[in-house]
Amino acid sequence: MTVWIVLGVLAFVLMLMYNTLISHKNQVENIFASVDTVLKKRYDLIPNLVASVQQYMSHEKELLEKITQWRSLAMKPGVSDEQKISLDKQVTGALGSIMVAVENYPDLKANENVMHLQRTLLELEEQISAARRAYNQAVTDYNNIIEMFPTNFMANLMRYSRKAVFETAEHERKTVDVKVLFKS
């Protein structure tokens, strides 16, 4: 009798651990799907942006080529989550540089299409930033549970391994001053 009770309790604890691990893994995947959606929205803007600015931006040709390249890499099927994360970092940096460079071209600054793109990008950046932060929290919780006792044994058996987080860029921590950005 006692043996059965002990076995029952043990089975229950194992089930609880297993389910917790699964729910954490799924949370990470769900949120990554949302991150992916907003990232795609931003990638969709890139061809339009490049087309609008390239005739003016003679000094940033290389940068524009690179960003187009990264975009097509990210849009390829079968890209891993880790690759997407590292591509996002590069694209975010490059887009930032383009936006700064726009300031040097008075024609571009006054261009309505470019202005609209800038605003759309800014809004998307806010959404991406929120999605990244949600993803990072989900990954942190996941990484914690697979390394903490006693779930770490079960995680090992299930071959769960640590996942990478998005690095938060310093500028994201600062206040985005919309008024300054749109001052012409």
> What DSSP line would sit under 7-58, residue for residue?
HHHHHHHHHHHHHHHHHHHHHHHHHHHHHHHHHHHHHHHHHHHHHHHTTT-S
Measured in whole angstroms, the distance separating CA 13 from the mean position of its chain's CA atoms is 35
| Rounded Cα gap, residues 120 and 36, in angstroms | 17
Q: Annotate each residue in 7-36 with x if it binds another protein (CB under 8 A) or - if it does not, as one string.
A: ------------------------x--x--
Phi/psi class of residue 159: alpha, beta or left (left: φ > 0; alpha: ψ in -120 to 50)? left
* Size, binding site for another protein by CB under 8 A: 25
Q: Alpha-carbon Rg of the chain, whole angstroms? A: 22
Q: Which of 79, 126, 148, 157 binds another protein (CB under 8 A)?
A: 126
Q: Which is nearer to another protein, 43 or 129 (CB)?
A: 129
Q: Which of 52, 90, 137, 152 binds another protein (CB under 8 A)?
A: 137
Stretch that binds another protein, among 54-62, 88-96, 144-152, 168-176 (CB under 8 A): 168-176
Report d(CA 81, CA 143) in Å as an integer. Answer: 16
Q: Which is nearer to another protein, 28 or 87 (CB)?
A: 28
C-beta of 174: minimal distance to another protein in Å?
7
Residue 69 phi, psi (nearest 5): -60, -50
Closest approach of another protein to the CB of residue 10, in Å: 23
Cβ of residue 105: shortest distance to another protein, in angstroms? 21
C-alpha distance from residue 41 to each of 24, 63, 78, 113, 143 (Å): 26, 20, 18, 17, 28
- Restricted to residues 38-97, the positions that interact with another protein (CB under 8 A) are none
Q: How far is the CB of 80 from another protein (least distance, A)?
A: 22
> Interface residues with another protein (CB under 8 A)?
31, 34, 119-120, 122-123, 126-127, 129-131, 133-134, 136-138, 141, 168, 172-176, 178-179
